[in-house]
Structure 1
Amino acid sequence: MRVLFSAPDWARWQPALEAACPEAQFVRDAPAESVDAIIYAPGSGIEDFTPYRNARLVQSLWAGVERIVSNPTLTQPLARMVDPGLAQGMTDYCTGWVMRAHLGMDNYAQDGIWRNGTVPPLAHARRVTVLGAGALGMAVARALKALGFDVATWSASGRGTEGIAAYPGNAIEDALRRAEILVTLLPDTPATRDMIDAHALSLLPEGATIINPGRGTLIVDEDLIAALDSGHLRHAVLDVFRVEPLPPAHPYWAHPAVTVTPHIASETRVETAAQVVAENLRRAMRGEKPLFLVDREKGY
């Protein structure tokens, strides 16, 4: 099987892929008609997939596929990356920031003033809502539940897991009203863009915190800033933005109630992701359905 690698960081990926799938031939360039599968990331060179008519799989190295799925020339099966290492990284990021918000760790300026008038509640008394119940959302929800938080998820499908309340699509307002801490892990689709607007923000409890490592298009920036300025929201931790890198003049940088992190919540880990790629390549070789196929209508 000849596999075209059309993504950055070939030097890092090559040894991991060759070790995980030695039966495949990985190449950086080849006649299009000779390619059996493509490992892909946006911006890596391929814009027209039409010549690759024999490719049985396009395996994305990204969890998000919004920059790929809209390409009209891409008719081959497309699989998104669901990587255990990526899920663990996202879990680490979200649990860390949820704990920071829960404990009020930013309340203690190191200025010689003894501030012991406020004791945070125990985790079981803190309500956290995770928007998104895919692989990343469920990993984060389970980890927060294990720490004792009162966790619920929301997704269009309403899918859930044992011990965690799950709100379906038509119950988004109920999911927001309970969210003292809101974690957003939704994909970028027409249905989710601008979802967190002034109305949605007004439903959050007074003093709520938002943590967004999902997609920058989910939040209406001006509405979030207004909610923070009014004091309705306490804090926002933002890792993703409509324009990246976030321009130096953007008001998020200077806002006292915003923490900007530079899209580092999680990333695909070569060592674990190579195993996922290898399994899908083997499935493609055998004519079987790949794992984590993208639903073109839903966009993820």
Structure 2
Amino acid sequence: MIDVLFSAGGARWPAYAEALPAAFAAKGLKVRLHRDHDRPEAVDYLVHAPNGSVEDFSPFVNAKAVLNLWAGVEKLVGNPTLTQPLTRMVDAGLQEGMVEWVTGHVLRHHLGMDRWITDQRPLWEPVIPPLARNRRVTVLGLGALGAACAQALAALNFRVTGWSRRPKEVPGVACLSGADGLEAALVQAEICVLLLPQTPATEALLNADTLALMPRGAFLLNPGRGPLVDDDALLAALDSGRIAHATLDVFRVEPLPADHPFWAHPRVTVTPHIASETRPETASEVIAENIRRGEAGEPFLYLVDRNAGY
């Protein structure tokens, strides 16, 4: 019998209490699933979220892995008590949700839809809608989510460039990497999508200098991580017209404080960290597969590189 501790927070328990056992059964796993455990040394796996019930992992001396429910692991990689293998969440539901949010907002800005939504008495002037093939989109971050979004946009005929810190290849996407690649990616970013992990290397990657590289009147979408952007530099770029509009789903402090300038800025759209969410059904399938792998002595899926931070 495999002992699994669900340490991902009580609010998530009802959904996962149904989805996880079904996924375990589908894999032929015999599992005891717990919300609490008075014998941490008996726990084989922890299903975890950073706002869950466990902060000190040292009592779980026999745990074979900590299986994170979130795509981001920045709140876990620096925990000195977490010495067990750590996996991040990559699942179909999370990926599909992100593709839909990104595609929807790219099309919104590409077509200039805000003008027609807010102006209820438009002048009936001839308008020639732009074509995707004439719009250059840059996706910063080519992990599972970034690559999926880049390919979805390319399938709509956008001219898509992707950038990552290390070289990658994504079919249908012009891929760049490194410092020189970042500059080349940004100078053509009429619409820029941020989907990088949060690490020391990506802190304030978009700052006064890098924002100045983007074409005047560019659009910015950030469904990745709040600290990727220097808030003050973005506000200055919005005020100057360098950035025409920023649609932001993630922030340095969440919920976004009521007095933050983003709320009142006419060129900012705030969405409340809803770009995508881990879905219990699909996430449970990933968790079950990783436990099956752990029990079979096979490599875990989506194992985190502690040095890289993701």
TM-score, normalized by length of structure 1?
0.98
> For residues 132-184 of structure 1, what are the alpha-carbon distances to aligned partners after superposition, in whole Å with 9 as ceiling and x for unaligned?
00000011001101111000100001212122100011210000001000000
| Residue in 1 that maps onto 2:122 | 113
- Pairing partner for 1:185 from 182, 186, 195: 195
Question: Is 1:233 aligned to 2:243, yes or no?
Answer: yes
Deviation at 1:111, TM superposition (A): 3.5
Choose 209-218 or 18-27, whichever is displaced more.
Answer: 18-27
Output the CA distance in 1 between the equivalents of 2:125 and 2:100.
28
Deviation at 1:43, TM superposition (A): 2.3
- Pairing partner for 2:112 from 92, 96, 104: 104
TM-align CA RMSD: 1.0
Q: What count of residue pairs does the alignment treat as equivalent?
A: 300
Deviation at 1:285, TM superposition (A): 1.1
SS of the residue 1:21 aligns to: helix
Q: Trace 1:217-296 onto structure 2 (pairs within 5 A).
A: 217-296=227-306
Output the CA distance in 1 between the equivalents of 2:124 and 2:224.
34
SS of the residue 1:19 aligns to: helix
Unmatched 5+ stretches in structure 1:
none
Output the CA distance in 1 between the equivalents of 2:36 and 2:186.
49
Q: Trace 1:73-222 onto structure 2 (pairs within 5 A).
A: 73-108=81-116, 109-114=118-123, 116=125, 118-170=127-179, 171-222=181-232
CA contact (8 A) 2:151 2:171 kept: no
Choose 258-267 or 107-116, whichever is displaced more.
Answer: 107-116
**In the alignment, residue 294 of structure 1 is paired with which amino acid?**
V
Choose 111-120 or 10-19, whichever is displaced more.
Answer: 111-120
SS of the residue 2:84 aligns to: coil
Unmatched 5+ stretches in structure 2:
none
Deviation at 1:232, TM superposition (A): 1.3
Question: Is 1:33 aligned to 2:41, yes or no?
Answer: yes
Identity of aligned residues (%): 55
CA contact (8 A) 2:24 2:288 kept: yes
**In the alignment, residue 10 of structure 1 is paired with which amino acid?**
W
| Residue in 1 that maps onto 2:18 | 15
TM-score, normalized by length of structure 2?
0.95
| Residue in 2 that maps onto 1:69 | 77
